[in-house]
Amino acid sequence: MTPTHRSLAAAGLTLAVLGTLTACSAASTTTAHGTLGPSATSSPAHWAYDGTDDPAHWASVSDDYRTCAAGKAQSPIDLPALGHDAPLDLDVEKGEVTETTADNGHTVQLTAGSGETTVIDGTAYHLQQMHFHAPSEHTVEGKRYPVELHFVHADAKGHLAVVAVFAEAGAHDAAFDPYIAGAADGETSARGHVVDVAAMLPTNRAYWAYDGSLTTPPCTEGVHWVVLATPIELGQDQIDALTAVHHDNDRPTQPLDGRTVRSSTE
């Protein structure tokens, strides 16, 4: 299938964003989903997805990462069966925008240019960046998808809305070709291209929504997550191109710790 845009709503967020968001890396002032990370004047501690600096040891790598173990609202989580909460309402006002793509060592980040606005529950958010994890970080009743894409948005006040989209093997999706081409380049410097953000999202409005955290150090909490329940399809060659660059870059699911997960079918 070729996914198109429309509808999704999210609750208000309270996490401030300072500066330009960068993808899953603690190497800059802002991290995966826009939370303030280690100072730009200090050298952030190295973390990884395997070895002695893997997710089980993130909290011991640096004092800056203590929330990775001490936090009570961590992401990702295992998602339950869909419920019957209020429907979501999302509208991508302008889909085609100029982006840059670069490999940051943990994932391939698409950094948004100007022009794209997503209205969520009446609030205008601007796409900051998108990146992928393989396999998916969130699970659905224990099921894991081959790929999970994170579209990171921020409103004018710095409130964050992260839209997660699962991907499974199926029909080739041309909307992802520019991003995947950038990933396959293996470049750490930015590669410019144009993508249609609207066409990268599924049409179905089924969702889960909950309050969580960054899925990478420093694991800062206060991130609102909206996970779309209907996966998009990518060609197996497209999935292979992504996983050839990064694979097993997923954090294990975290305890729910009494949080509420809202959800609904379309």
Question: Is position 106 annotated as part of the catalytic site?
Answer: yes
121 secondary structure, DSSP code: T
- Following CA atoms 56, 159, 257, 149 in sequence, which dihedral angle do they give, to the nearest 10 degrees? -50
Q: How far is CA 19 from the centre of its chain?
A: 18
**Sign of the CA dihedral 92, 98, 104, 105?**
positive
Give one word for 237, left, alpha or beta, with left for phi > 0 and alpha for psi -120 to 50.
Answer: alpha
> Is 69 strand, coil or helix?
helix
Give one word for 34, left, alpha or beta, with left for phi > 0 and alpha for psi -120 to 50.
Answer: left
**Pick the catalytic residue: 5, 106, 131, 246?**
106
Which stretches of 170-261 are assigned E, i.e. beta strand? Answer: 191-196, 207-213, 221-234
Total length of the chain: 266
Decide if 164 contacts 227 (C-beta within 8 A). Answer: yes
Residues taking part in catalysis: 106
